[in-house]
Amino acid sequence: MSDPAELLKELAGGDDDDAAVEVVAEALAEGDESDESLAARAAAGEPALRRAALLALGQRRAHAQGARIEASLADDVPAIRAAACRALGLLGAEEPPGALLRALADRHPAVRGAAAEALGSLGGERAFAALEAALARERSAEAWGPLCAALARAGRGAGLVRRGAALLARAAARQAEGRRARSAAAALCVLTQEAPYADLLAALREVPGVGREALADAIEGCGAPIAPALARLLPQLRERVPDPEVVGRYGVDLSRRAAAGALARAHGRDELVEAVLERLSRPGPRSVVLVGPPGVGKTAVVHEVVRRLAEQQVLSPAVVLEATTGEVLSGTRFLGEWQTRLKELVSALAPPARAVWYVPDVDRLVDAGTSSHSDESFAGMLAPHLERGTLAIVGESTPQGIRRGLERNQRLARLFLRVDVQPTSATATLEVLERVGADLAQEFRASGTELCFEEGVFVAARDLAEDHLPGPAAPGNAVTLLREAAQGARGGRTAPAPTRVRVGPRQVLEALSRFAGVPLRLLDDSLPLDLGEVRRFFAERVLGQDAAVETVVDLIGLIKAGLTDPARPLGVLFFVGPTGVGKTEMAKALAQFIFGSAERLVRIDLGEFRDPVSLRRLVGDPHAAEPAARTGLLTAPVRERPFSVVLLDEVEKAHSNVFDLLLPLMDEGRLVDEQGRVTDFRRSIVIMTSNLGSDLAEDAWLGFGAPATEGRRGLGEKVRRVMEETFRPEFLNRLSKVVLFAPLSHEVMRRLARREVRRVLSRRGITRRRAIIETDDSIIGVLLQEGFSPRYGARPLKRRVEDLLLRPLARALLALRPDEEAVVRLGVSGQQVVSEIVHRPGPEEALDDGAPPERRVSARVRDPRRGRLVSVDELEERALELEERVEGLVEVLERQGLPERKSHLVQVSQAAGFWDEPERARRVTSEIAAIEQSLEAPRKLLGRLEALEGLFEAARRQRGESRALYELLVRLDELGDEVELAGYAARCTSPVERGEAYLHLRLVGEGSFPRDPIAALHCMYRAYARRKRGFSLRVVYESVDAEGRVVEAGLRVSGLCAFAFLRGEDGLHHWLQRSQRRTQNACFVRVSVFPPAAGRCEVRAERRFAGGEGVLLRRHRQHLVLTHPPTLLAVDGAVDAEPGSEEEARAFLAARVARSGGHTGEGGLVRRYILSSQPVCRDLFTGLRLPLDPVLAGKLDPLVLPRLAGGD
């Protein structure tokens, strides 16, 4: 070719110098000149020729000259730098050169634009990130356009269409200058014209409401080919989104939950859903109230409406705010406060915002806000907005509730479209269950479990729900039962998820048994029920009332056979008889047998309801001083636990209006409270007691302990006549049966007295001793005289046993050694019970069968802990001391109220809807398990102490240092350690102290250390957990650096009082390595110890595959980054393939967030681990210096227990 310089002069004669450079560059690239020669031209000479040479090198893809091209980026001439940028873009590279990235910050806008163009050509995540950062800081209009275009190209090449579109959309919306906004919009259109439509919509949704109108203008004016296709989206862009801060202040945005797939589907309710959607879309009044019984699916219809609203509105999904009237009123105390809050809420939801307010307690709108000083309510403030259609409310109510609530204000009621939601038919319920089963299978599949339903399972769920769960209407009752069966088949929430689960009719029965608290033998027809065994159960608990026992046995037989009236309570029994003859005890025994616990007894003394005003306390009195009476002393407990025994004591003393209240309960099994809520008693047993005719019983009692047959003849008929005089016929006719409890005979009273004496003598303070207690028959006579009366029956017996028996017995026992095998006799002197030690073995008495005593050499063994010889007698004393300490632990646990706390939590777990709140259910079940472990520990320790008796016998038979004696010493030392630990655990009184512990281990500072300190601490804590009975350690996540060293890890330690034992580990752990030359390397590990949080927190999650072996984890499955946006606390590391790993990581982060909110500071220095020729560990709290290897092997008790004892 001709001389490039001459050609350039000829072509540059016109105005387009850049065009001349392009022509010459193309000629040079196609010519014969070598790359080395072109590089030389690019390094020196005329600027235009240098530019052409640089571009030619790029077009040739002369990678060998890349360094010389990059060197031109430092040239003083901006055009040379720009040409070098373009050349690097033409050259191509897997990763953008660092010099090119730095050119984005060049002082000249043309150079920045050229660098952006080059990076757009190269593409990739790194180039995209650099362009994203450059766009955020660019202020020059000259570079803005190339930056936007380059970002679009890089986004398409790197598969980052949605991210790039969102970035460009926000950029266009922010620009006040029209040309820059149009440049960003044009790049946006280029980026998305070949991308999925959903990516563009997702990007547009991220634009804040205040910038959407500017974005709409920019798209209209950019002239891109795709812009007309977006025209139909522009009106939605101009719509206002309700302020998220206001929405979050008053309730929950259901639209977000719908987008996350967290709302259940409403199967078989399409017609109702469409009716609600049509009402919401019309002009004028748009509000709707769904009316139906509980369980019919009203809330599910609302959730389906929310889901479809989110699907219909492509760009701006409608916001559906769920907020009750109570949440709006929350925190208001002064005049005008609630009005201000309500106005703010209505304003946030008003047009042009597209929003709906979902009010679950819509009936309270009529009264919400009223007070003794003002009649103004929500209804008056909301009615104008509802009438104009500027506010749309979707509410739900029951037929009774709407009559007592919304319909009391006709002006408000006419603004709502009433949509009745009827229970589904048997066929429709079956269809709903099949579709719910498909949803459940999909949910299980997402967690790695295959869910299979056996034939007949849906029919079984429908029929069992109809028979045993009549409170909630269909299909809600059947759906709840099916879900419970599926969850139960998968196992506990803390158990590993199985790969395959089968659910059949049997699993549904088991779910019903758990849900209702009814034994499986009463529900499953395939399991026989021995009525003889049932009869013995009640006869042993209620003595001398054979007729009452037969009545109860017959009732249980009817329940087992399924022959009770489904429209009434399971039974309505009237127990009548004197005080203290077993009426209340029979009700408790019935609750124990049918519902598994005597605490499933709802007991109300109707003698307290003697006036018509007090009647309201039974069904709920909002103005009552007693909190329980506000929700209903009778209705609230049964509504919470429908499967109960309801005991109404002293019914004859109640006001006559109480009987009117009880009539619908006895006849239809339902009661309606003051708020219109229906309480279902059809799965309860109602027992009423009365002392009517007790004076007749006293007349039949001819002298103490000798009821006369003639006096008792006809007593039942007389009592019935008294009942007919007291109660109205309509009340008596609704009773299932009247059960007469007869006065106790002399024989029954003696059996009761003996049983009470046996109960007293089985107390631990007696059974733990070797003394034998002998009781004289005369004691029973004294107890009968002192503990029984015709008026009070057996009620005073227990108190008299305490007074008469225990005091003299205690004096005798205190005179004996705990291990003394004496005989204590209880007898009568006058009318007092006296105690006498009738036998105390002397030292000369032989312990065998009377053979002459032989001379024994007492065996001894060296005790390494105490540094001396010990004998079998000393070890026996040590065992007795341990036994006493364990007994003391039992008393400590009882004083702390752990048995009562467990009973309360068990009641909570059996309540309806318990599993609807998974996090609360997990906390409750975890606390139950911890309490059970606490209560079980002393029993196990006593059992292990008793198991040593064989070793004691062997040790007594052997001479000298026997193997049995040494084994006995070792066992007692182990038991002593465990008793010591149990004693420490007993001091842990709060659920937090008794619960799990999370450990966050983080390497502090930089630098190298020859040992992996976090891995060593993990091994130490794992070994410590293995040494503790019932403890376990799980790695939640780990973060490993490039050298394979763990820099951060999360651990969970489970076990009784794990948090209490390990919280002293919170602080800095100093690792130090010393060499013989006196040089040392050091590093720190920050260990943070915190308990599980009460709930979860909102997090932002990112996941990517991360295979390979781990350090603490056996194998990595994915790298997980969970971030809590308000605090920026994060879990950033690899998790394993175990089911629930991500959920565990979320719980760990929630616990860290909770700690950060209530923690006042980080712990100080805890311990030093010194690696030297003689490795040692120095603990700063105890001051101990211990060999390092045993400490790292988990022998931490010498360091942990003093902290626990000291209250650290």
The CATH number for 482's domain is 1.10.8
Closest to 80 in 3D by CA, of 71, 93, 90: 71
Q: How many CA atoms lie within 13 A of 1107 on its CB side?
A: 0
Q: Which residues contact 746 (CB under 8 A, 6 or more apart)?
A: 705, 706, 707, 784
Q: What is the DSSP letter of 1109?
A: B
At 871 the three-state DSSP class reads: strand
State the Cα torsion 278-283-285-289 to the nearest 10°: 10
Residue-wise pLDDT tens digits, 747-779: 788 778 888 887 887 787 887 777 777 777 678
Are the C-beta atoms of 1061 and 1200 separated by less than 8 Å? yes
Position 702 confidence tier, pLDDT thresholds 50, 70, 90: very low
292 pLDDT more than 60: yes
Tokens of 657: 């209006």
Are 303 and 369 contained in the same domain?
A: yes
Determine the average pLDDT of the residues in 691-705: 57
Instruction: Give the count of beta carbons closer than 10 Å to the beta carbon of residue 597.
Output: 15
441 part of a folded domain:
yes
525 part of a folded domain:
no
Are 469 and 324 contained in the same domain?
A: no
693 part of a folded domain:
yes
Nearest-5° angle of CA 126, CA 127, CA 131?
120
In angstroms, rounded to a whole number, what is the distance separating the alpha carbons of residues 692 and 1184?
75
- Residue-level pLDDT at 414: 94
- Residue-level pLDDT at 758: 79
Determine the average pLDDT of the residues in 678-707: 71
Where a domain ends, among 933, 964, 987?
987
Are 974 and 888 contained in the same domain?
A: yes
Are 588 and 508 contained in the same domain?
A: no
- Residue-level pLDDT at 1134: 92
Are 106 and 74 contained in the same domain?
A: yes
Determine the average pLDDT of the residues in 666-684: 85
Nearest-5° angle of CA 763, CA 769, CA 773?
70
Residue 1130 bridge partners (DSSP):
1123
- Residue-level pLDDT at 276: 93
Q: Which residues contact 357 (CB under 8 A, 6 or more apart)?
A: 320, 321, 323, 345, 349, 391, 392, 393, 394
Residue-wise pLDDT tens digits, 533-543: 999 999 988 98
Nearest-5° angle of CA 1199, CA 1201, CA 1202?
75
**Residue bearing the bigger pLDDT, 292 or 893:** 292
- What total number of domains does the chain contain? 7
- Residue-level pLDDT at 14: 47
Closest to 133 in 3D by CA, of 153, 116, 108: 116
| Alpha-carbon distance values, 1172 to 525, 625, 940, 1069, 1071 (Å) | 72, 71, 43, 17, 11
Tokens of 844: 């000369």
Domain CATH number, residue 936: 1.20.58.410
At 420 the three-state DSSP class reads: strand
Residue 1080 bridge partners (DSSP):
1074
Residue 452 bridge partners (DSSP):
502
Are 980 and 948 contained in the same domain?
A: yes
Determine the average pLDDT of the residues in 346-364: 88
579 pLDDT more than 70: yes
In angstroms, rounded to a whole number, what is the distance separating the alpha carbons of residues 734 and 722?
17
| Alpha-carbon distance values, 127 to 66, 89, 150, 251 (Å) | 18, 11, 10, 42
In angstroms, rounded to a whole number, what is the distance separating the alpha carbons of residues 58 and 431?
68
> Alpha-carbon Rg of the chain, whole angstroms?
41
User: What percent of the chain is modeled with pLDDT above 70?
Assistant: 84
Q: Is the dihedral of CA 37, 38, 42, 45 positive or negative?
A: positive
Position 998 confidence tier, pLDDT thresholds 50, 70, 90: very high
Are 585 and 731 contained in the same domain?
A: yes
In angstroms, rounded to a whole number, what is the distance separating the alpha carbons of residues 1133 and 1156?
20
Are 416 and 432 contained in the same domain?
A: no
Residue-wise pLDDT tens digits, 882-915: 887 777 777 777 777 778 888 888 888 888 878 7
Supply the range of the domain harboring residue 354. 244-420
Are the C-beta atoms of 682 and 569 separated by less than 8 Å? yes
Least confident of 97-111, 178-192, 303-317: 178-192
Top-ranked range on mean pLDDT: pick from 274-278, 466-470, 819-823:
274-278
State the Cα torsion 492-496-498-501 to the nearest 10°: 10
Residue 863 bridge partners (DSSP):
868
**Residue bearing the bigger pLDDT, 219 or 232:** 219
Least confident of 98-102, 223-227, 396-400: 223-227
State the Cα torsion 74-78-84-86 to the nearest 10°: 150
Where a domain ends, among 169, 204, 238?
238
Position 420 confidence tier, pLDDT thresholds 50, 70, 90: very high
- Residue-level pLDDT at 1062: 92
Are 569 and 433 contained in the same domain?
A: no
1008 part of a folded domain:
yes
Q: At what angle do helices 872-895 and 918-946 cross, to 10 degrees?
A: 150
Residue 1050 bridge partners (DSSP):
1000, 1037
Are 232 and 251 contained in the same domain?
A: no
852 part of a folded domain:
no
Q: Taking phi first (over 0 means left), then psi (-120 to 50 degrees means alpha), and beta for anything else, what does residue 913 get?
A: left
| Alpha-carbon distance values, 1108 to 1013, 1042, 1070, 1135, 1136 (Å) | 22, 14, 30, 11, 10
Residue-wise pLDDT tens digits, 1084-1142: 888 999 999 877 888 888 888 877 788 999 888 788 889 888 877 889 899 987 878 88
**Residue bearing the bigger pLDDT, 979 or 1059:** 1059
704 pLDDT more than 50: no
Residue 991, Cβ density class (10 Å: 0-12 exposed, 13-18 middle, ≥19 buried): middle
In angstroms, rounded to a whole number, what is the distance separating the alpha carbons of residues 766 and 757?
12
Q: Is the dihedral of CA 394, 397, 402, 404 positive or negative?
A: negative
At 564 the three-state DSSP class reads: coil
Are 730 and 780 contained in the same domain?
A: no
Q: Is the dihedral of CA 136, 137, 139, 145 positive or negative?
A: negative
- Residue-level pLDDT at 192: 63
- Residue-level pLDDT at 857: 44
Pairing type for strands 1165-1171 and 1129-1135 reads unpaired
Domain CATH number, residue 1179: 3.30.70.1660
Residues in the chain: 1208
Instruction: Give the count of beta carbons closer than 10 Å to the beta carbon of residue 775.
Output: 19
In angstroms, rounded to a whole number, what is the distance separating the alpha carbons of residues 4 and 27?
8
Residue-wise pLDDT tens digits, 57-87: 888 888 888 888 888 888 889 999 999 899 9
In angstroms, rounded to a whole number, what is the distance separating the alpha carbons of residues 652 and 407?
38
Where a domain ends, among 987, 1014, 1049?
987
Position 314 confidence tier, pLDDT thresholds 50, 70, 90: very low
81 part of a folded domain:
yes
- Residue-level pLDDT at 1001: 94
Residue-wise pLDDT tens digits, 778-793: 787 788 777 776 666 7
Q: Which residues contact 529 (CB under 8 A, 6 or more apart)?
A: 521, 522, 556, 557, 560
Determine the average pLDDT of the residues in 924-937: 76
- Mean pLDDT, rounded, of the chain: 81
Q: Taking phi first (over 0 means left), then psi (-120 to 50 degrees means alpha), and beta for anything else, what does residue 172 get?
A: alpha
1153 pLDDT more than 80: yes
Determine the average pLDDT of the residues in 306-314: 74
474 pLDDT more than 90: no
- Residue indicated by tokens 């209490």: 1060
Tokens of 215: 């974005």
854 pLDDT more than 50: no
844 part of a folded domain:
no
Domain CATH number, residue 313: 3.40.50.300
State the Cα torsion 180-184-185-186 to the nearest 10°: 100
Are the C-beta atoms of 573 and 550 separated by less than 8 Å? no
Are the C-beta atoms of 501 and 454 separated by less than 8 Å? no
In angstroms, rounded to a whole number, what is the distance separating the alpha carbons of residues 195 and 155?
11
850 part of a folded domain:
no
Are 1101 and 1127 contained in the same domain?
A: yes
Position 356 confidence tier, pLDDT thresholds 50, 70, 90: very high
Tokens of 838: 């009738």
Closest to 510 in 3D by CA, of 460, 565, 445: 460
Closest to 806 in 3D by CA, of 835, 785, 780, 784: 835
- Greatest alpha-carbon pair distance for the chain in Å reads 145
Position 226 confidence tier, pLDDT thresholds 50, 70, 90: low
- Residue-level pLDDT at 301: 94
**Residue bearing the bigger pLDDT, 627 or 492:** 627
**Residue bearing the bigger pLDDT, 499 or 1188:** 1188
